[in-house]
Amino acid sequence: MIRVGINGYGTIGKRVADAVAAQPDMRLVGVTKTRPNYAAEAALRRGYDMYAAIADRADEFDAAGIDVAGSLPDLLDAVDVVVDCCPSGVGARNRSTYETHGVPAVFQGGEDADVADASFAARTSFEAVRDAAADAVRVVSCNTTGLARLLAPLEEAYGIEKARVTLIRRGGDPGETDRGPINDVVPDPATIPSHHGPDVNTVLPDVDVDTAALKAPVTAMHTHSVNVTLRATPTADAVRDLFAGERRLFVIPEGAGIDGAGKLKEYAMDRGRPRGDLWENCLWAESVEVSGRDLYLFENVHQEADVVPENVDAIRAMVTDVPAAESVERTNEALGVGVESLLSDDGQTCDPIAADD
Amino acid sequence: MIRVGINGYGTIGKRVADAVAAQPDMRLVGVTKTRPNYAAEAALRRGYDMYAAIADRADEFDAAGIDVAGSLPDLLDAVDVVVDCCPSGVGARNRSTYETHGVPAVFQGGEDADVADASFAARTSFEAVRDAAADAVRVVSCNTTGLARLLAPLEEAYGIEKARVTLIRRGGDPGETDRGPINDVVPDPATIPSHHGPDVNTVLPDVDVDTAALKAPVTAMHTHSVNVTLRATPTADAVRDLFAGERRLFVIPEGAGIDGAGKLKEYAMDRGRPRGDLWENCLWAESVEVSGRDLYLFENVHQEADVVPENVDAIRAMVTDVPAAESVERTNEALGVGVESLLSDDGQTCDPIAADD
């Protein structure tokens, strides 16, 4: 059993904790929090051992009636690997602590790429990360993860001459009351390309991709408007079939009545997904259009969820010999990731529901 | 076993279906939908028998690969009671159909009060509805339900001279992409009082209450700014204790770090609530203020969820002899409704978490 610690129990940390706890070959040793708020209380109710992220705040937990099992160093001494889910930038400051304790660490995509020895996306760089025998690996961000999953099969099947993506990013997560914008769509950054294209190249080096990013006053999901100039001229149906074969892509059937992030989340909750999480890229079947060698489509990425299975696979890539495909399959099965499990029992992902609704 | 049918499987219908299916003394016979969209598909995966709400559309379900067990008349012939969860106004048109089939019906608060023989809120009018032996009962709206739950204990404990409530209503539900406003707070109606005060009086006749309502560009919850002029001068702590004794009120502890609807929903999802539902009024402990005889507070009401346990109780009030308290307790237990189950194991609802966080 791989003993896993989670440092930071926010949006990503709480989800990675649940995902680790669900794996047959992993044991969640504990999680850290900086303060004893509602999320700490909920973690305890899930039976997770709580460690104080900042040692001299342990008495705050005592005062709140929350037993702590120790502080971060105690957790590090008890695990085989730590997943850093701290706010962006804090992870970089934590790296030396992890090194001092000799614990391999998985970082999140909010950190700069140089926080770690290698960047990770399960679809494109599992083997490379294992071969690098890195002690520190960064799972790329939600947007980059989504793009890697989308572009990799296109590159393999048709070759990519150039990808151009506009990212309409959510302003903040649902609980982040201090984020914006509130009534604007803001180029962010206003310079083009954004960092996302280069970040894709950390896990998919040979694809030429430019990205332009904005922020919108929404909280549920990011939206990508994608153009890929291919080196071949497949039909739109062939591209849909290609995507349908990728378990971490969900091709939303035309006629399902899902017109945006709100209904996507509603569907996830209808299906009993924990926290309404969508681990898959969600792309609209009817948006897939091929004009000459130009492919177009819209997809949404759930910023709270899509990197979660990636973190699980990153752990296996670092500290086990489980082959990539087996790890991904194990993760998918344990969590219930997959297009098939979303909309069809027989593996047919298009048209389980009338297209002429 | 009470055999229950749900006519209309939208925001409320899908939740009432789940709640009915969870009751030890009820059997969900089936649900109706007008078209075979993503929600219909998800209902089938839950094992619910599907009936075509509009008989001549049954072939659309066939075309979508969704087996239907029949159409609405077939469902009505197989149940002891039907819960109408159709869009506002459609319920009134359905009443004669239910009467023709001799099936008692529960309607929703979007209908006018005269759609039914009596209005229902479990806290205030369970016995009155039973005594009326009504064949048609209307569960009052989410806002009215929330106000009845809040005002009833205050009336009983202190007497209410006058209640004045400003309702900042959500513009639409999360999946409703065609609703507004998008960047405004709109008096709605601009006339004061709004209909909510009189609607409270359908279930709590003797309380003098004026309401003013607006719509805001949010989707998660309604917010109430409440003033109640009491006939006594309790301390704020006494009022908090009073509320803590009401299982369908959730007194959000100060220091829990929950500052709005986003974090309330996050907490509900952290706790594994289905769909992140909050069946309880959610009121902020630190907002409870008493100045002379004037009580003030803020509370949120989850428009998708708070009427769900009420519908279950309405069914028992109409077609069983189960006493009110026992029905409410049974509903709460089956669903997991309750302040205690939310934040404390020992029934202490204030300060399970440090207030000085």
> What is residue A349's predicted lDDT score, i.e. its pLDDT?
35
The shortest C-alpha distance from B183 to chain A (Å) reads 7
Query: How do A222-230 and A294-301 pair as beta strands?
Result: antiparallel
Residue of A nearest to B38 (CA): A256
Per-residue pLDDT reduced to its tens digit, A61-85: 888 888 899 999 999 999 999 999 9
Write the CB contacts of A92 (distance below 8 Å, at least 6 apart in sequence). A107, A111, A112, A115
Report yes or no: B75 and B3 within 8 Å, Cβ to Cβ: no
Encoded tokens for B170: 């959500």
Per-residue model confidence as pLDDT tens digits over B13-71: 999 999 999 999 999 999 999 988 888 888 988 999 999 998 888 888 888 888 899 99
Look at residue A165 and give its three-state secondary structure: strand
pLDDT of residue B18: 98
CA separation for the pair A177, A66 (Å, rounded): 26
Residues of chain B found within 8 Å of residue A267, distances taken between Cβ atoms = 38-39, 42
Joined tokens for residue A289: 């259009």
Q: Taking residues B190-194, what's their average pLDDT? A: 94
User: Which domains are assigned to chain B?
Assistant: 2-139+308-335 (3.40.50.720), 142-306+336-343 (3.30.360.10)
User: CB distance A352–B64 less than 8 Å?
Assistant: yes
Q: What's the pLDDT at B342?
A: 43
pLDDT tens, position by position, A224-249: 999 999 999 999 999 999 999 999 99
3-state secondary structure of A121: coil
Query: A2-11, B7-16, B64-73, B271-280: which has the minimum mean pLDDT?
Result: B64-73
- Residue bearing the bigger pLDDT, B132 or A353: B132
Strand-strand pairing, A81-84 and A105-107 = parallel
Do B267 and A39 count as a contact with CB atoms less than 8 A apart? yes
Residue B66: what pLDDT? 85
The set of residues, in sequence order, having a beta carbon less than 8 Å from that of A162 and lying 6+ positions away, is A208, A209, A210, A228, A229
The catalytic position among B85, B86, B142, B350 is: B142
Nearest CB to B42 within list A176, A260, A271: A271
Q: Helices A308-319 and A324-335 sit at what angle, rounded to 10 degrees?
A: 140
Please provide the average confidence, as pLDDT, over all residues in chain A.
93
Distances (CA, A) of A170 to A101, A179, A200, A219, A304: 37, 10, 19, 5, 11
Q: Is the pLDDT of residue A350 over 50?
A: no
What percent of chain B is predicted at pLDDT more than 70? 95
Burial string for B227-250 (b: 16+ CB within 10 Å, else e) reads bbebeeebebeebbebbbebbbbb
At which residue do the structure tokens 């229902």 appear?
B120
Q: Is B218 helix (H, G, I), strand (E, B) or coil?
A: coil
Of A36, A275, A353, the CB nearest to B354: A36
State the pLDDT at residue A61: 85
Q: Which uninterrupted H or E stretch holds A132?
A: helix A122-132
Q: What is the rounded (10 degree) CA torsion for B276, B279, B283, B285?
A: -80
For helices A324-335 and A122-132, angle between their N-to-C axes, nearest 10 degrees = 130
Q: How far is CA B44 from CA A251, A344, A350, B8, B62, in A?
A: 20, 11, 18, 14, 13
pLDDT at B340 over 70: no
pTM across the whole model: 0.90
Mean pLDDT, chain B, as a whole number?
93
Identify the pLDDT of residue B352: 35
> What is the number of other CB atoms lying within 10 angstroms of the CB of residue B198?
14
Indicate whether B134 pLDDT > 80. yes
By annotation, the residues of A acting in catalysis are 142
- Judged by phi (left if over 0) then psi (alpha if -120 to 50, else beta), residue A25 lies in alpha
Confidence at residue B94, expressed as pLDDT on a 0 to 100 scale:
97
Q: For A154-192, how does the pLDDT look when each residue is reduced to its tens digit (9 = 90+)?
A: 999 999 999 999 999 999 999 999 999 999 999 999 999
Q: What percent of chain A has pLDDT over 70?
A: 95
Q: What is the mean pLDDT of residues A83-91?
A: 96
Query: Nearest C-alpha of chain B: how many angstroms from A273?
Result: 8
**Interface contact flag, B36 A266, Cβ < 8 Å:** no
User: Is pLDDT at A340 greater than 80 in this prediction?
Assistant: no
Both tokens of residue A83?
A: 């997943």
Chain segment B216-256, per-residue pLDDT in tens = 999 999 999 999 999 999 999 999 999 999 999 999 998 88
pLDDT in tens, B103-133: 999 999 999 999 999 999 999 999 999 999 9
Tens digit of pLDDT for each residue in A115-156? 999 999 999 999 999 999 999 999 999 999 999 999 999 999
Flag whether pLDDT at A286 surpasses 80: yes
- Residue in B43, B174, B274 nearest the CB of A262: B174
Q: Cβ–Cβ contacts within 10 Å for residue B327, how many?
A: 23
What integer is the mean pLDDT of B319-330?
Answer: 98
pLDDT at A317 over 50: yes
Owner of token pair 């220091």: B255
Distance CA A254, CA A271 (A): 18
Q: Which residue has the tokens 């997560």?
A: A173
Residue B348 has pLDDT above 60, yes or no: no
CB A172 within 8 A of CB A179: yes
Percent of chain B with pLDDT over 90: 86
Q: Which residues of A touch B36 (CB under 8 A)?
A: 353-354, 357
List all residues 6 or more positions away from A144 whose beta carbon is below 8 Å from its beta carbon.
Answer: A109, A121, A196, A199, A200, A202, A203
pLDDT band at B349 (very low <50, low <70, confident <90, very high): very low
Instruction: For this complex, say whether ipTM is above 0.90.
Output: no
Per-residue confidence (pLDDT) for residue A57, from 0 to 100: 84
Q: Note if the bond before B309 is cis, omega within 30 degrees.
A: no
Hey, what amino acid is at A104? P
Is B350 one of the catalytic residues? Answer: no
